[in-house]
Structure formats: C-alpha cells, structure tokens
Structure 1
Amino acid sequence: MTRIAVTQARAVLGLALAAIAAPSLAGAMSDAELASIVARRLHGDRTGACAAVAVIDTSVSRAYVCADDKDRARVGPTTAFEIGSVSKTMTAALLAELIELGDASLDDPLSAYLPDGTTVPTFNGQPILLRHVVTHTSGLPALPPGAPMGGFDDPYAKLDPAALLTALGRTTLQRAPGSQFEYSNFASMLLSHAVARRAGSDFETLLQKRLFAPLQMRNAYVNHRPDGVRAAIGHAPNALPVPAWNFHGDLAGVGGVRATLDDMVAYVQGQLGHAPAPLQAAIARSQQPVNPGGQPVMAMNWMLAPLNGRTVHAHEGGTGGFSSFVAFDRERGRGVVVLSDTALHTLGGLGSLGLPLLDSLVPLGKPRQAVAADAALLDALVGDYALDGGMTMHLSRKGQALVIQAQGQPAFEMGHDDAGDFYPLLFDASLTPQRRADGSYGFLWQQAGSAASARRLDAAPVPELSNDALRAYAGEYPLMPSFALTVSEREGKLFGQATGQGAFELTPAAKDVFEAAAFGIEVRFERGDDDRVVALRLLQGGNTLRGERR
C-alpha cells in the first residue's frame, strides 16, 4: 500500500493552490466528456497506464481510457482492480457497524479484540485504543517487525494472524498512542483481524454480508473471484507487468479488496447517503472526525482534506501494480473514483486526475512524456551520494542517459520525463533532482511506497544550530486564507506543519534556509532590519507561497 502520509506531505502546496482558477470541470457530465478529460491527463503518458474513472453526481459518468489507445482492451466494466489501501475505509465501515450495534467502542483497547494471551505493547501504561488505530496514531511501526514478509512482488502473502500477533509481542512503543501520526499497515492488519473476530466471521464473508451485498457491490472480492469477473493485470510505471498481491483473508482489510468500477461507484453512492438502513448509520459514523484538533484530522480511516473552504473525504491506495483514488464531498453530493492498472504512487498518485474531477478549481494534471535530460543537469548529478538510511549510490553518465548503481548492486540506465524525474527502465522507482541552497544537487529517491533524500558525499556539512537559534524561527505563517505553515522547535529539531496536514522535519541547508527533501520542500526565512525573522517563503514543485510571521 502506498503511504498516504508521504503523498499528503508532498502535497502541502497542492490543496492550497487549488484556489487558482482552472477550466471548469464541475457538474454532471456525459461519458464522452469525462473520457475527454481523462484522455487529456493520460494520453501519451510514459507509464502506459490505463484507468477506469467515474464521477458520481446527480448522475454517474464513466470512462475507460489508456495512455495508448491500443491497450484499451485491458480495462472494462467487468475488470477488477486491486484497490489497495482504500480497503481500510471498508474495514472502518465494518467497525462502525459493530459500534452501532453496541458491540464495540472506539475507546476500547485493541487488546480486548485479540486472542487471550496476546501481548500488546503499551507506553507508560497507556494502551492502544481502536481510535488510535483508525487514525494511524497507534505508535505501531509501518510493518510488523521480524514477520515473514515477502519481496516487492508479493510482500504480504506469507503473513497470517499468528505471525502478526507474534510480531506484536516483540514490538515496543516509542511514544504514547494518540500523540503522533504514523501510517501503519501493521496496525491496519491487526484491526482487520480484530473486527473479524469480534463479528464472529472470517473477514471476506463479513465484507460480503455486511458491506458488498447491501451496497450491491456484486463483483467485489478478496480471494474468491465471482464468475464473469476478470482480474486486471497490474503494471509498474515502466509499463512492465507485475504479479498480483495476495493477502490472508482475515488481514485483507489492510489492502486486499479487488473491485470493478461499478462496485466502487456503488460504494461512493453509499458514502453520499444512499446506503440502506442500518448500514447508512454505520457509514455516517465512520465519516465523523475521530481526532478533532489532530494533525492531520481524520475520520475512521478517511483523510479529511481541506479543499476550497470545504472538507472532503479522501483515500488513495496502491499495490505493486495498481493505484486507486476515492474521494467525495458530502456537502456538494459529488464523488470520484479513479482505478488504474498501473502503480503510480512514486509519481504522485492519481490526485492530479481525481481532485480536478471533484472540484473545478483544481488544475488538471498533465501526462508525463519521455524526453531527453539537459546535458548540464546530467553532468551536475554525476557523483556519489548517501541516502537517509545510509545506503550509497553512484550516478554516472552514459551518453544522454543517467546511470544509477546502488552499493553492491548492478548499474541501471534511467529514462527521463518532462516532469523532471529520472526513472529506471527495468524496475519501479524514481529519482527527482533537487537543487540545494548552495547550488549543488541532491535527489529524492522513491521506491516501494517510501521516499528517502540523497545528499552528495562531497557536499558541505549540514549547519548545526542551537535550540535557541531554532526557536527563533518558530511561529505561524499564514500563506493563504485558512492555510498556514506553523513552525516549531522540538528536542533540537525544527518542524513545519501545514493546516490540516501532519508535521514534517525541516533540516538546515544554509543560513535561514531549511529543507524537507523527502517531500520536495524548501523553506527560506526572511529577516527584518532588527535581524528578527519576519516571514518565510515555502517552495514546492515549482510553486512559491509567502507568509509573514504572526
């Protein structure tokens, strides 16, 4: 599954800039109109992706579009896609129904839902509650430590409940539950297992009986594909096919659901108030904020995103060969589903298509096309680098191509696209060059749903600042109406936090310049005549916002 935390943090400016006017895409539209819009985003895209897209409004429009028209047969009404982490919102609906029935509470400890004798970590006596799990604040790591994970091709196939609970017993919490957002597939697998146990059913049967059947999601499934449904073949963003991901049935609530476009249309219609009773009450409960005042604000496994003065529910998902995007605006009665047979998480996901369909003021993204890289950029990137985790990488030039070689591994030639990213031709990853404040280059490396910044081994050392020096930057900096960046010092580090988003660390790069390289963010502080910090400029993705210190 993609880590939505990374996606959100990289889009600090994305939702704020949604106020920039764009051609109107709002309102009910025909299938042909929708197909035209999707084609503007996909046609010619170097990933070769295909997508099934729906806009749910007063009517439903559907489109099936590929980057190359010759691939159109890959997707259609009976094609089932892996929806990845959007499955978590379905687990939330099942939990909400248990709460409606009086069989569960968000304030129950997770331990009460697991087998007797299970060791569940606490922090100074504070237990993990269900509300912590559905807001990704449990304190549990992203993946179960020491569990038998598979490779990139099928990472969850070897996991079963016993292995998961064993991993839980060896886990130590580093902070209090509820204190910090950290996206955790580990916690979500535990919740899937816990909900099934409390309901007295295996998870797939529970999904079919309590969610899929009432919403008439006739072709949705986990491991038992209905007759007449064709499982799509997934692809890496280099257009090569990749294997399907598999999940133990009771852990599938983390990301194991497969569904057609019509299944997901029915799901979003249910989210917009058209589910039968009593499921509608459970869905409505799952949409309510669970951590008011938290960052980011969340419902039960739904991200609550500010968008042009309103709040929309959204979740992205992804597996090794698929991407998904589901969002809806209850106030306007509008929803969007985008399902792709290509893993696009390393390229920013599907928000650049989904958000414009949800709100007309969000600019539509453009296809990424393969182009030659500038020779001067290639020369500037040649050198040795260290990733955040310590691995070293060597970049060299082969004619007009960049070649990357990780320590102890073969060298791989890379392509380049007009968005400025380099990408290996033989596996799924991306390299985004980042010009540092001193004029040198580093890069952001994305692979397998995670991101790490890389710094040249011969780069100037990172400046060291005292706690007092860091506190001099602290304050609130309004960047747009209802959108600000709050800067704070904690334990000798500087953090930024945009309205409605999680905090991210800011690393010193030069005098009054800080970076969050993993998210492509640079912050430049400005000083007044008295040498006090008075404003900042936040730069991301070629855009700049300025805010004066409040």
Structure 2
Amino acid sequence: MPRKTLLALVFAAALPAAAQEAAPAGLAQAVRARIDGDRTGACLAVARIDGDRVEHAFECADPAQAGRIGPATAFEIGSVTKPMTATLLALHIAEGRASLEDPLARHLPGTRMPEFGGEPIRLRHLVTHTSGLPALPAGLTPADTSDPYAGLEPAALLDALSKTTLHRAPGTRFEYSNFAMMLLSLVVSRLGDADIETQLRARLFQPAGMLGAHVATPPAGVTAAQGHLSTGRPTAPWTFHPQLSGVGGVRATLDDMVRFVQAQLDGSGDARLDAALAATRMPVATPATPGNVGMNWMLQPWRDGGTLVAHEGGTGGFSSLVAFVPGTRRGVVILSDTSLNALGGLGPLGMHLLDRSMPAPKARRVIAPAPALLAALEGHYRFDNGLAVRLWQQDGALWGQAAGQPAFRFGHDDAGDFHPLDFDALMTPQRQPDGRYALRWMQGGGVMSARRVDTEAGSAARYDVPAGRLADYVGRYPLAPGFELAFTVDGGRLHVQGTGQPAIALDAVEHDVFVADAVGAELRFERGGDGRVTAVALRQGGQVLRGERVP
C-alpha cells in the first residue's frame, strides 16, 4: 500500500466525530458539474452538513489527478482564518481584556494612529472592514510576489500605520482590508501573550476537535496540498509572521473545517468557546454595516427569516468557503487546491449546495474567441493607474503587452473571459454604449478598469432600444434567498436596484443586453417561446447569477 494512502487511513482513524460518509449522487454530481474539465485543473474537497449527516466529495477537473487531495490533505484557507482570529478576540473580550469600543491605540501604544475628524479607529472597525485603512499597507513591496506576506514584520506594519492618512471617518464605508486584519492579529497576539497558532491550538482547534488544523507546524499524518494558480501552474505556499498570521495563515483538512462549522451549529462542548463563536456571528453595528457584518463574518438574509453566515478565502494557490445557517444545522465547506478568486470564487457552488433552487455553476472550458470579438478588442487602453496596454490578435488568439513589459498570450473560456497563459489574472471585456469595449482586470485580489484611448478605432453605432420596449424588462428577478433585482423605467432609461441598494441606470449595448458601467456588471435578459422576458443573468466579478422573473 502506498505510504500516502496509509497515512491518510491512519489520520482518518485518529480523528473522532464527523463520520466519513460516501458522497451521495447529488453532491458528487454538483461538484463534478462545477469542476469536471475546468480549464484551471482544480481539485475540490467539499462537505455538506445537514444535522448529524456529513457528506464528503473529492473531485478534480482531471479525474487522473484525483490522488492529489484526500481526507488527510491540508489546504490553505486564506481569509477564512479571519473569523477564527475574531473568535480569539471574542474570548479576550469575554475575559475583560478588551472591548470592541477600544481605540486601536490602546492596544498598540507608542504608534502614531491615524484619525479622521477626531474619530479614532476602534476594534469594531477592524472586525467589520470599516477602519478606513487601505487593503494593504502602502510602501511595503514584497520581495517575492508569489509569497507576498513573507518577511513582513510587526515593526514594519506599525511603521506603515504611522504614515497612513485616513480619507474618511472610520465606520462610514465598508472596504475589505488585510492591513486592518494584520493589525487585529497583532492585537490578539499581544492580548494572549502568544502567537496566533499557539492561541488557536489551545482555544479553538483542540476544543473543537480540529486536530489537523495548524499555521506553521503540521500535526503528524497531515500532508500539505500543492497550491496552483488559475492557469494550473504550481505556486509557492504563503507564509506569515507568527503574530500576523491571523490575517490568513491557517491550513486545515476538510474534516477540520467540518468540525469548525459543527461547533458553530451545535456547539463544541466548551462553554467559553461556544459563547465566543456566538458573539462573532452577531451583527456589529457601524454606519456602513447595518446588520450585514459580524466579527469577520458576512451575514445575509436566508429563507424563512434565517441568516446565512459565510466567509470566502484565498491565497495565491488556494480558495475556500465556509457557509452555514444557524438554527438549521446546515452548512457547507469547500476547499480548492487552486486559486479561483478571480473566476468568481466558490460562493455560487456553496449557495447551490445549501439551496438547490440556486443556479448550479458550471465548469469553465477553453474555447476559441470569435474573430469579430478579437477584431473589436484590438487597440490601445489605459488603466486606472495610468498603465498603458496594447491588445492585438495573432494566429486566432488575443495578445497583450503593457508598456515596458514582455508580450503575453491570452486564453479564452466559455464564460466570455480572457486569461493570460503565463500568470494569474482575468480580463473581462465590457461592451460600452458606443459599441466599443472597456476592460475589467482582476489580479491578486484587486480590480482595475481600462478605457480605450485610440478613439478612432473600435467604435460602432450606439444601440438604442426601440420605443416602448423598455417595459419588457420591468419586474422582479430573485437571484438568491433574500436578494432580488428590481427593474424599473425612469426618464426613458432602464434602472436596476438590488435589495437594500440604490438604483443604478443601465445602458443598452445590444438586443436584451444592458451594462452597468459603474459596477462592472452586464445584464442579459432571456425570452420564452412567446417572446416575453422570462429571466435575467447578471455577470459581474467573474460570477454569473441567474434569476427568473416573478409575476
């Protein structure tokens, strides 16, 4: 018997609870539909929790690669670490060492703290991503972009904080910030007088039975998954300073994450831990987060008055998702050995596994781009940051080159996106009202837009919706439990409004297709055999969500 298989069997036998159960056809089929033949080559480890029943599935885009993951495989879970760090904070708060109202300065004395209008950054702002701090510290350029947090020391982080200027009051805008979470990780390390891994092992992993979870020191029998870029190429693991690893440094097996969800749903048997877990799921109020963010949890209305508690994560070579509905004893865990964040992440699959009425995502397959699309994209573009890029077609493929950099070739998939073959990024062409294309570029967790600068090329006649036809689209289209798109006509233009969001004006780019340039979204309507509009597909951020029209 191969040593790897023997270790997997020994490891599974050594861990109690969460009984191993073969995946029923429904789970395996749903996972295969998402990943089989996917251009990324990813492998997924998936669990669905329904009361005492736990279903498991391990599936790969290429079935021949199935042996590269299994029950003893530890995945980087990235930002799903953040709710675990929040759990440590909740424990310290319960023990009187801190409060969400504490100014950050109280726990990081000696560091100049940015303020705005006299309002300091408080711990509640860190756990809700409303601190006003940027996504990453300015001026800290990683020596190795494949391992961007390696070598970052607390002293350098605090120095960057002292040089930061806030442009708005803390609490007034939600902006996801790993900078803020590294500071929280440092605070938690100091509160517990120990690094993050030591505290997590003693206060979460062991009480919850997460015996394979770790940061830097893997338990015996645990094998590290090899991470991959979305191009399928292997990439280096991410490493963190022991005091800063609360931002995204945990590695865990599928069963570890199942036990984490079970502790949320049923309790761990440790009263202090269970109270802390419950505290993290409670909404943390700020002007920017009226009930939709907990302590590093995203909260979303669910069926029958329930609340979906969720967080996605990702590193350079991994993606992860944890989602559950307290009170129902239902949840889902998805771990990928490939970075899928730029392709819409794992949320659509997770939502489908929790609620089969939600659209089932499909694999992305490589297809040749249409010659007309290649011709329309050829030209010069400029990104938000000033970077100039030229696109051209050659031998039936799209090529690109940024100023002063080597040329590279794009692949193209059946979702309509382009991806560089040599590095991890995603480019989405976006039709504009004048018929030309703009570009939306996703890379490293960031998003940039590019506009055409050679105005004489690529333009086409503006598409105008025939008079009276805008009324065809008016109506409500639910996309998820508790969330729908409502379309109205105002001032001769079609508008869309998501639940709890402001209305946005749309521009038509072709028959039954509209764009919302401000949010980088495309809306494509579907018609039935009688010609009436029956559904809409929202394409945004690498995801496609479909909703059927309701009467």
TM-score interval, smaller chain: 0.7 to 0.9
Q: Partner letter of residue 516 of structure 2?
A: E
Question: Given the alignment of the two structures, is residue 443 of structure 1 paired with residue 439 of structure 2, yes or no?
Answer: yes
SS of 1:144's partner is: coil
Question: Given the alignment of the two structures, is residue 113 of structure 1 paired with residue 102 of structure 2, yes or no?
Answer: no
Deviation at 1:308, TM superposition (A): 4.2
Q: 1:48 and 1:411 mapped to 2: Cα distance?
A: 24
Q: 1:440 and 1:186 mapped to 2: Cα distance?
A: 37
Pick the aligned partner of 2:23 from 17, 27, 31.
31
Question: Which has the higher relative contact order, 1 or 2, with Cα contacts under 8 A spaced 6 or more apart?
Answer: 1
Partner of 1:304: 299
Deviation at 1:306, TM superposition (A): 2.8
Q: Is the 8 A contact 1:86 1:315 kept in 2?
A: yes
Pick the aligned partner of 2:67 from 59, 70, 73.
73
Residues 1:545 and 1:211: Cα distance change in structure 2 (over 3 Å): closer
Question: Given the alignment of the two structures, is residue 264 of structure 1 paired with residue 260 of structure 2, yes or no?
Answer: no
Residues 1:188 and 1:177: Cα distance change in structure 2 (over 3 Å): same
Question: Given the alignment of the two structures, is residue 93 of structure 1 paired with residue 87 of structure 2, yes or no?
Answer: yes
TM-score (norm 1): 0.82
Partner of 1:216: 209
Q: Is the 8 A contact 2:128 2:289 kept in 1?
A: no
Could you say what the CA RMSD is over the residues aligned between the two structures, in angstroms?
Answer: 3.0
Q: 1:294 and 1:210 mapped to 2: Cα distance?
A: 31
Partner of 1:341: 337
Structural mapping, 1:295-444, within 5 Å: 295=289, 297-308=292-303, 310-444=306-440
Partner of 2:139: 146
Question: Given the alignment of the two structures, is residue 136 of structure 1 paired with residue 134 of structure 2, yes or no?
Answer: no
Deviation at 1:500, TM superposition (A): 5.3
Q: 2:83 and 2:503 mapped to 1: Cα distance?
A: 25
Q: 1:398 and 1:63 mapped to 2: Cα distance?
A: 41
Q: 1:70 and 1:148 mapped to 2: Cα distance?
A: 39
Deviation track 1:52-107 (CA, whole Å, cap 9, x = no partner) reads 10011121111111000111111011111000000001011111111222222111
Q: 2:536 and 2:29 mapped to 1: Cα distance?
A: 34
Q: 2:309 and 2:380 mapped to 1: Cα distance?
A: 42
Instruction: Name the count of aligned residue pairs.
Output: 483
Partner of 1:12: none
Residues 1:249 and 1:188: Cα distance change in structure 2 (over 3 Å): same
Q: Is the 8 A contact 2:212 2:256 kept in 1?
A: yes
Q: What percentage of residue pairs aligned between the two structures are identical?
A: 52
Deviation track 1:259-293 (CA, whole Å, cap 9, x = no partner) reads 01111011010111322212101100110000277
Deviation at 1:358, TM superposition (A): 1.3
Pick the aligned partner of 1:184 from 160, 177, 202.
177
Deviation track 1:233-255 (CA, whole Å, cap 9, x = no partner) reads 10011111011110001101100
Q: Is the 8 A contact 2:433 2:507 kept in 1?
A: no
Question: Given the alignment of the two structures, is residue 499 of structure 1 paired with residue 494 of structure 2, yes or no?
Answer: no
Q: 2:86 and 2:172 mapped to 1: Cα distance?
A: 21
Q: Is the 8 A contact 1:508 1:514 kept in 2?
A: yes
Residues 1:356 and 1:538: Cα distance change in structure 2 (over 3 Å): closer
Deviation at 1:199, TM superposition (A): 1.6
Pick the aligned partner of 2:42 from 40, 49, 69.
49
SS of 1:402's partner is: strand
Greater Cα offset, 340-349 or 305-314? 305-314
SS of 1:315's partner is: strand
Q: Partner letter of residue 278 of structure 2?
A: A
Q: Partner letter of residue 290 of structure 1?
A: V
SS of 2:116's partner is: coil
SS of 1:227's partner is: coil
Partner of 1:540: 538
Deviation at 1:538, TM superposition (A): 9.1
Q: Partner letter of residue 143 of structure 1?
A: L
Q: Partner letter of residue 409 of structure 2?
A: E
SS of 2:391's partner is: strand
Pick the aligned partner of 2:285 from 281, 284, 291.
291
Deviation at 1:142, TM superposition (A): 0.7
Q: 1:128 and 1:257 mapped to 2: Cα distance?
A: 26
Q: 2:213 and 2:167 mapped to 1: Cα distance?
A: 38
SS of 2:257's partner is: helix
Partner of 1:162: 155
Gaps of 5+ in 2: 1-19, 458-473, 488-494, 526-534
Q: Is the 8 A contact 1:396 1:403 kept in 2?
A: yes
Q: Is the 8 A contact 1:287 1:302 kept in 2?
A: yes
Partner of 1:239: 232
Residues 1:180 and 1:117: Cα distance change in structure 2 (over 3 Å): same
Q: 2:97 and 2:40 mapped to 1: Cα distance?
A: 46
SS of 2:376's partner is: helix
Greater Cα offset, 304-313 or 413-422? 304-313
Gaps of 5+ in 1: 1-27, 462-476, 488-494, 525-536
